[in-house]
Every structure is written in structure tokens, then in C-alpha cells.
Structure 1
Amino acid sequence: YIGYGEFKVKALKLQRQVFCDNKREISEEEYKQLITAAEKKGNLRLALLIEAICSTGIRVSELKYITYSSLFSRRAVVDCKGKRRVIMLPQKLCMRLKTYCRDKGIGGGSVFVTRSGKPMDRSNIWKSMKKLCGSAGVSPPKVFPHNLRHLFARIFYELEKDIARLADILGHSSIETTRVYIITSGNEHERIIERMGLVV
């Protein structure tokens, strides 16, 4: 409208994110450091909760479905928004949680509960994990519950290379959502292209 009709504005197309941010993605070693830190602080419940999220890919909001009875079937049945999803629980995790339940006198209902018997909420879990950062030696921006799901997804995909199956396990309706979870670091990509040895 200013007399330059031949000028056009084009939207800049951005390539889909190829690499994850190393400063935010937690590593397997850092995950183990968090568990060790929680155990040293005497917070076994938090240590087991961290293991439960990372070893199953379960959402924080779904932790309440890990019940005492699910430890015997090794399956947590999640009912949410009219959909049902079955989450497989590793045998070793179930054994540890059974021992925890026995020691805490938990004989039914959700395993991860407060002293009043209510399922732990997202904010309390988030705060408890953040308190581990210093003693665990892990950068705070990396430490939050959802990041454990990302670590589960990356390790699963490294082993299986089946994104459709991973999407089902995580409860994603779109594979595009799952792609975000399995983005690798730039450092890993560098190692791969160096290993290829195609520069003569």
C-alpha cells in the first residue's frame, strides 16, 4: 500500500529441530546420580518414583495408576479421557516397590502417596526433584519429571528403532509428537558422522 507492489513478504521456513539441547536433556548417568542422591538423603520414595517414571515412560499424572495390585500383574492400567493404556512395569521395579510397600504398610491403592494417603501431585514431585540437584551434581534445568520420559524414549528408540511402537507406549496419538522425544544431541551426531569415515 506504500507504492511498492512488487515487494512481497515471505514467511521464513525453519527446519524442524534436529538436535536436542545438551544443557536441558538429562543423561543416563545423571539420572542414576539423582537416584543415588535421593537414597543418600533417605528419600526412598522419591528414588523409586524417579526410577518408575524413567523405566516405564509413564506420565507424572499417571503415577497414581501404579497400584499395589499392579505390582503383581506387572501392568499399570491407565484410564484417561475415554482411552485405556497398559503400561508394563519392569520386574526389578516391582520387586523393589513390593519391598517398599511392605515396609510402609501399603496393602492397596496407589503406591506413591503422601503421609495422608493421597497420590503425590506434580508440584511436590517437581520441588522434591529440584532439591536433589546440588547433591547429585546435576544442572537444575535438566531436572524435572517430564525429562525422565524423554530419557526413556531416547533409550528405547536406541534399542528398538521402532517409533510407532514407542508412540503407543508413551500414549501419543501422533508420531510427530514422539519425534520430539527422540531427538539426539549434536555431539552424538558428530560421533556418528566421524564413525562413517567417508572423508577419504
Structure 2
Amino acid sequence: MKATAEPAVEGFLAMLAAQRGAAANTLAAYRRDLAGAAEAIGPLERATTDQIAKLGTVWADLAPSSLSRKSSALRQFFGFMVDEGMRADDPSSALPRPRARRPLPRLLSHEQVAALFLTAESEAAGGEPEKRRMLALLELLYGSGLRATELVSLPLAAIPRDAPFLTIAGKGGVQRMVPISTRAIKALSDWLLARGKGGRFVFPSPRGGHLSRVRLFQLLRDLALRAGIDPVKVSPHVLRHAFATHLLEGGADLRVLQTLLGHADIATTQIYTHVDASRLVALVNQRHPLARS
């Protein structure tokens, strides 16, 4: 018999949809995780710290990624209840923690990224359509942090006419506006001139449809080889990761980065905070109000 959803859970899910624009799939995942926890320990609205601690046993056989996701759902739920005045205490400190952190993607240095662009720009200057396409792909991967799927399936209708933004349909069909730089617009314009007419995708495939993710992966590794970089170190996700990490190093706000990357949950964005400790210390010393006292 299906249990009736708790009012606080429904309120929490409504908040995720309204304030964070969470997709239907994301909301369904939160609902399943919260319902599963309630089945194991009873109503979450009245759950005690001791009851929450029992989830460590219930979830003992889960993979670290699944454990982290479930714990994040409950942590956000209890934070919501406290913020809304539904509870005076937050029992989430008793939640089990993953045995290991989610592995970080490989990271390219600023020098390696510069080498990729130097090679791509030099080759594109020759005017060959495929080389112009490669530069446009690189600009959008590193300059805007697009996912591989978002990039290869980019429709012509998403290209801005008079505003420096792309309209991206991300995970779950959730749309977001992504800024693109002046140089990326130039690379896109050059590619569109070389591309010719026909098809509805920015990066069409010779066989119809759009460029595949596999082909994008191959193109990047070939470029890395020509730039003198180990091809194993380069992929679409590595460039997306470099985009995020290098923005944070430059002082970007984590919430802004969450929006740019299209993450429904800020916890997903926090993986990118592994910048040098020295930079973080310097940022606090330079920007904190007490630093000027």
C-alpha cells in the first residue's frame, strides 16, 4: 500500500520546482529518496537524530554515489524545514557519509588550454571548414561550459541574433541562458559561413542529424595530439571541468557557476571547489570586510 506523502515533503518539492527550476526527473528522484528513507525510519517530519543515524545501517550496501545522493536529499529537506520554521532542530548531522568522495575529473592547466586554442586558431586561419568547426566547438566547450550532448545537439535557433547568450536545453529539458564571449561569437560566425545551408543543427552530421558525441570526443583527442598534449587527458567533460574550475579560481560565485552549468543541486557544483588552498586564503584576506579593519 502506497504511503501518503508528508505535507513537508510536498512543500519541499514545490520549493525545488518553483525556486530552483528542478526538472520533473529531478523531483521524482528526490521524492523516491525521501519516500525510501521514510519507509525505513518512519515519518521524516518528526524523525529524531537516533532514527536518522539508523539509515547508516539501512544504506550500508549502497555505492558511495548513491549514498551521497540520498544524504543530500535529506540534508536539503531538513534545511528546508528549519528555514520554514517547521522544526527547531536539524538532525541531518547524523546522516551517513560516503566512504569515498566522488572522483574529480581530470583537469587541464591554463597552459594546456592555451596550447589547444593556439593550435585550433592557427589551423582555423587556413579557412578549412572542419578546422573552423573545431575552433567553434572548443570555444563553446571551454568558453561556456556546455555538456557534450548540449553542444552537438545545439539547434541553429539557439544562436543569438543580437544578444550574447545561447538558449540551452539541458538535462530534463530545463532551459537556461548561457553567455558566450565575443571571440566565441566570431568563431561561430566563421563556422556558420563555412558550414553552408541545410539542416537544423549548428554542427550537422554528413549522414543527417547532428555530430555525435563519439565524433566530438575523437576530434578533441586529435586536436590534443597536434597540440602536444596527451590525448588521454582531454575530453568534452574535462574542458567543461576546466571552465568551471578556472572561473572559480578567478573569483566566480558558486551560485553563478551553478546556473551556468545547469545544476539543479548546488551540491553537484561543489565538486568544483577543489581550487588551491592558497587562493582561497588569499581571497578571504583580500575580500573579507574584517581584512580591511
- TM-score, with structure 2 as normaliser: 0.52
- What's the counterpart of residue 225 of structure 2? 134
1:103 matched to which residue of 2? Answer: 194
Q: 1:106 to 1:158 in 2, by over 3 A?
A: farther
**How far has the Cα of 1:82 moved from its partner?**
4.0
Aligned residues: 181
Q: Distance in 2 between matches of 1:180 and 1:109?
A: 35
**Structure 2 gap ranges (5+):** 1-59, 61-95, 286-293
Matched, 1:25 2:116: no
1:37 pairs, out of 115, 119, 122, with: 119
Corresponding position of 2:29: none
Q: What is the CA–CA distance in structure 1 between the aligned matches of 2:187 and 2:154, rounded to whole Å?
A: 17
The structure richer in helix per residue is 2
- AA paired with 1:26? L
Per the alignment, residue 52 of structure 1 pairs with 140
CA distance in 1, matches of 2:223, 2:169: 31
Are positions 1:77 and 2:167 aligned together? yes
CA deviation digits over 1:28-74, x for unaligned, max 9?
Answer: 22122123334555522112201111100111111123626613233
Q: Distance in 2 between matches of 1:25 and 1:193?
A: 21
Matches within 5 A, 1:179-194: 179-184=270-275, 188-189=276-277
Cα distance in 2 for partners of 1:40, 1:125 equals 19
Report the equivalent of 1:146.
Answer: 237
Contact 1:37–1:136 (Cα < 8 Å) also in 2 = yes
Query: Which structure's relative contact order is higher, taking Cα pairs within 8 Å and 6+ residues apart?
Result: 1
Distance 2:97 2:244 in 1: 31
Please tell me the root mean square deviation across aligned C-alpha atoms, in Å. Answer: 3.3
Larger radius of gyration: 2
Structure 2 residue identity aligned to 1:35 = F
> Secondary structure of the equivalent of 1:53?
helix
Relative to structure 1, the CA distance from residue 126 to residue 37 in structure 2 (aligned partners, 3 Å threshold; closer, same or farther) is same
- Tell me the distance in 1 between the aligned counterparts of 2:272 and 2:252: 13
Q: Cα offset for 1:16?
A: 4.8
Contact 1:68 1:101 in 2 (8 A): no
Unaligned runs of 5+ residues in structure 1 are 1-9
Q: Is the 8 A contact 2:132 2:187 kept in 1?
A: no
The offset of 1:137, in angstroms, is: 1.5
- TM-score using structure 1 length: 0.73
Cα 1:39–1:170 shift into 2, 3 Å: same
